[in-house]
Amino acid sequence: MNADTDHALLEWRANTSTNAATFPVHLCATTSPGTWTATLATPDEDTTEVLTFLLDTDPWLILIRPGTPPTEVRVTSFDGTTSLHLTTQKPGGPGELGGSAGAGEPGGSGQTEG
């Protein structure tokens, strides 16, 4: 493994329960501030099916790296086998493709004047 790759964990946790899933990853050097590429450390069919299902439910996970505080990241892409792209940016931020509308945005869940 080269110096540009670190071991890390991605943790998915349900908002209202103690259910969690943890995925070991090889975290590559950042592609820009707050953005990483990663590969699953143990890619197998069961792992990729579970990860795909969880990402459809909620793409936000906790990135756990040795020596740094946990970081909330969003999986912006997953190739279905090993490769993931992670960001700390909220959907629809600069350079984000396919961001969903949020509160106060057209189609979002914010309050409207009436």
State the Cα–Cα distance between residues 84 and 67, nearest whole angstrom: 22
Q: Residue 1 in 3-state DSSP? A: coil
| Topology at the third CATH level for domain 5-87 | Pnp Oxidase; Chain A (2.30.110)
Q: Average pLDDT, stretch 29-38?
A: 84
pLDDT digits (tens, 9 = 90+) for 75-94: 999 999 999 999 998 876 55
The one-letter amino acid code at 32 reads S
Q: Is pTM beyond 0.95 here?
A: no
> What is the band of 26 on the pLDDT scale with cuts at 50, 70, 90?
very high
Q: Average pLDDT, stretch 62-82?
A: 93
State the Cα–Cα distance between residues 13 and 22, nearest whole angstrom: 9
Average pLDDT, the chain: 77
State the Cα–Cα distance between residues 85 and 78, nearest whole angstrom: 7
> CA 100, 111, 109 angle in degrees (round to 5)?
25
